[in-house]
Amino acid sequence: MFFKHLLVFIMVVLLFAYRVTATHVVGGDITYRHIVNDSFEITLILYIDCINGNPQAIAQDANAMIGVFDTTGNLLKTLLVNRSLPIRINSVNYNCVQPPSNACVDKYTYTYYTSLPQIPGGIILAFQRCCRNNSITNIINPNATGATYWTRIRDTAQTNGYNSSPVFYTLPPNFLCNNSAFVFNHAATDPDGDSLSYELYTPYMGADQSNPLPRPPATPPYYGVVWASPFDVNNMMKGLPELKIDSISGVITMIPKIVGQFVVGIGVKEFRKGLLIGFTRRDFQFNVLACQFNIVSSFTKDLKVCNDTVAFINNSVGADSYLWDFGDSTSSIDTSTLKEPTYVYPKLGIYFIKLLVKKGNCSDSATAQVIISRDTIPFAGKDTIICIGASVLLGTNDTNMFNYRWQPALFLNDSSISRPLATPQYSIKYYVTRTNDICINTDTVSITVKNLQAHFSGNTLVNCREAHIVIDSVTTFQEMKWYLNDESATLDQIKAKLLEKGKTYLVKLLVSDGQCFDSLEKLLSAFSTDTISFIPNVFTPNNDKQNDCYRIEYIQLEKECANLLIYNRWGALMYNSDEDGTCWDGNWKGTQATEGVYFYILKHMGKEYHGTITLIR
């Protein structure tokens, strides 16, 4: 019987946890209003996703527990508050937009009257709930991140009487339109007439999946959510311009640039006699959608022309009437109702244009500026570094009609077009002149040509016993790859390779500086030869580590391979390679040989070579 009850208890706990961790809360705030003496009205507002929210989880929030703490974290009391009936948020910030079917927010209000003590540091009111929508874009792990809605009644206000917190006039619309300007007055009113200042803040996290509805809520302090890169408190939604709030008026502005759901924190500070006495926070989820508008005003933006006559291109959608204002303060008739008018401006300057479009009761407007002046925007293109043999496209895209002349015309496919293709064989600077009926503009662009050249000297050392590859005079680059007979190898491996006499070997070097590449191949033969190309006739054994020991390059002075004999002028044998090592160090019988001329006999490949050697110290 005990285990049966235990099983039922576990199932209830699991069902409860499933219900309350469902993601449905999309925002909230806590405010307070002083009534008389130590009596206050406490108001908690929760904003609920009425489409994606789990009905069972929403039912769990029929009442809410608000914790009352002192500033050291001691729990003074709890307030169990019932909620009001929901109010559907239907506000729309755009004209003639087709309402989306997947954005719905209900507002629930929890109101409680209680007495609150005046204590040093003041008191903190807090409510916590988990979890946020898993589809939120700008924070880490939103499905496991709860929210803390809290405020502090500061004791600093007690010196000037009790305080009531500011209350925001209204709630932002439950959806924003991507790529459309969003302007919303998020101002608050303060019953005490205190000075208000607005700012964005990082929303707070609170409950989690293991304890989604803590009763009482956790003790302060509370910590902000963890932003997902590249978002932060100054870049909450990715807009151009980004979301911002005017600190004085409370007006929010932005143009959203990506679709998604985003947590945003909007706060208002209140000051009395220059002293901060309160900070009211609203945490809310903005839904950015790809909206469908019934009517859109759009035309060519921000024109900069070298002509006083401007032909406007109308890109509006859904309109059947148009009203242009060309921004010419010198004229009272600078308007037009044509769809695509042309206007002649009287002088150089900046003019602000507005297009108002209508269809039935729907209207929309767009603004832009026209600059009438000589063109100063670079049009030759950016200075570029290329590799030898590569091509680069010069100039920039140009929507205006101009005549072009590029100089020099060397290496260009056409020197009379806006974007010629250049294939220079060396570094060069191009000059371009762009003209139309009234404008003559010039610009320059430099093309730096990098010509990498792989280089090494290669030979084979062949003697009676073995054959090796000799590599030297190698030019060093950032990246170097060696190949022997098309197989990757290191330089040391190539030098150590024992060659098979009578065969040829392909040595290849690939080099790069990170941008450009070059290669060099050499075919080396491991054939024996009876000819010695060079026998040195001078050496200087003075211990300067240069030419201190006499040797013949590419000749292996070992028994059965080659033998070198050196005599002085009186015929005394000074050096025998079979007995004295592979080179002569200029010593004889433990003492330094004198400077002068010596005679040698070299026996190699069945031949003898005779000559003289001069020893200089």
Which residues are CB-contacts of 236 (< 8 A; sequence separation ≥ 6)?
A: 138, 200, 242, 243, 262, 263, 264, 265
| Identity of residue 131 | C
**Which CATH class name applies to 384-449?**
mainly beta
Q: What is the reported pLDDT for 1?
A: 35
Cβ–Cβ < 8 Å for 430, 382: no
Q: What is the reported pLDDT for 488?
A: 94
Q: What is the reported pLDDT for 294?
A: 80
pLDDT above 70 as % of the chain = 90
Which H or E run includes 2?
A: helix 2-20
Q: Where are the domains of the chain?
A: 25-289, 294-372, 384-449, 457-525, 538-615
Least confident of 103-107, 144-148, 320-324: 103-107
pLDDT, mean of residues 192-206: 95
- The phi, psi pair for 22, rounded to 5°, reads -60, 145
| Identity of residue 605 | M
| Identity of residue 130 | C
Chain center to CA of 527: 59
Q: What is the reported pLDDT for 326?
A: 95
Bin 179: left if φ > 0, else alpha if -120 < ψ < 50, else beta: left
pLDDT grade for 459, boundaries at 50, 70 and 90? confident
pLDDT grade for 92, boundaries at 50, 70 and 90? low
- First-to-final CA distance of the chain: 111
Indicate whether 521 pLDDT > 90.
yes
pLDDT, mean of residues 575-603: 93
Q: Distances in Å between the alpha carbon of 160 and those of 40, 165, 196, 277, 610?
A: 17, 14, 17, 10, 117
Cβ–Cβ < 8 Å for 534, 553: yes
Structure tokens at 422: 């250049």
Cβ–Cβ < 8 Å for 23, 99: no
Nearest to 339 by CA among 351, 323, 358: 323
| Identity of residue 273 | K
pLDDT, mean of residues 534-540: 92
- CATH number for 294-372: choose from 2.60.40.10, 3.40.50.150, 3.40.640.10, 1.10.10.10: 2.60.40.10
Chain center to CA of 445: 27
Q: If you ran DSSP here, which 8-state letter would residue 199 be given?
A: E
By CB neighbour count within 10 A (0-12 exposed, 13-18 middle, 19+ buried), where does 240 fall? Answer: exposed
Interior CA angle at 460 toward 451 and 583, to 5°? 115
Which H or E run includes 254?
A: strand 251-254
pLDDT, mean of residues 346-374: 85
pLDDT, mean of residues 224-252: 94
| Identity of residue 572 | A
How far apart (Å, rounded) are the C-alpha atoms in residues 331 and 314? 22
The strand pairing partners of 272, in sequence order, are 275
Q: What is the reported pLDDT for 526?
A: 81
Q: Which residue has the higher pLDDT, 291 or 352?
A: 352
Bin 589: left if φ > 0, else alpha if -120 < ψ < 50, else beta: left
Q: What is the reported pLDDT for 21?
A: 45
By CB neighbour count within 10 A (0-12 exposed, 13-18 middle, 19+ buried), where does 47 fall? Answer: buried
CATH code of domain 25-289: 2.60.40.10
pLDDT, mean of residues 6-26: 44
pLDDT in tens, 175-197: 888 888 888 999 999 999 999 99
How far apart (Å, rounded) are the C-alpha atoms in residues 475 and 454? 7
* Residues constituting the chain: 617
pLDDT in tens, 423-444: 999 999 999 988 876 567 788 9
Give yes or no on whether 294-372 and 457-525 have one common fold. Answer: yes
The b-or-e profile of 439-471 (16+ CB within 10 A means b, else e) is eebebebebebeebebebebebbbbeeebbbeb
**Fold exhibited by the domain 457-525:** Immunoglobulin-like (2.60.40)
Indicate whether 20 pLDDT > 70.
no
Mean pLDDT, the chain, rounded, equals 87
Cβ–Cβ < 8 Å for 531, 519: no
The three-state DSSP-derived secondary structure of 393-462 is ECCCCCCCCCEEEEECCCCECCCCCCCCEECCCCCEEEEEEEECCCCEEEEEEEEEEECCCCCCEEEEEE
Cβ–Cβ < 8 Å for 480, 492: no
Indicate whether 307 pLDDT > 70.
no
Q: What is the reported pLDDT for 309?
A: 82
Q: What is the reported pLDDT for 12?
A: 33
pLDDT, mean of residues 562-572: 94
- How do 362-372 and 479-484 pair as beta strands? unpaired
**Fold exhibited by the domain 538-615:** Immunoglobulin-like (2.60.40)
Q: What is the reported pLDDT for 18?
A: 36
Tell me the DSSP string of 358-379: EETTEEEEEEEEEEES---S--
Q: What is the reported pLDDT for 58?
A: 84
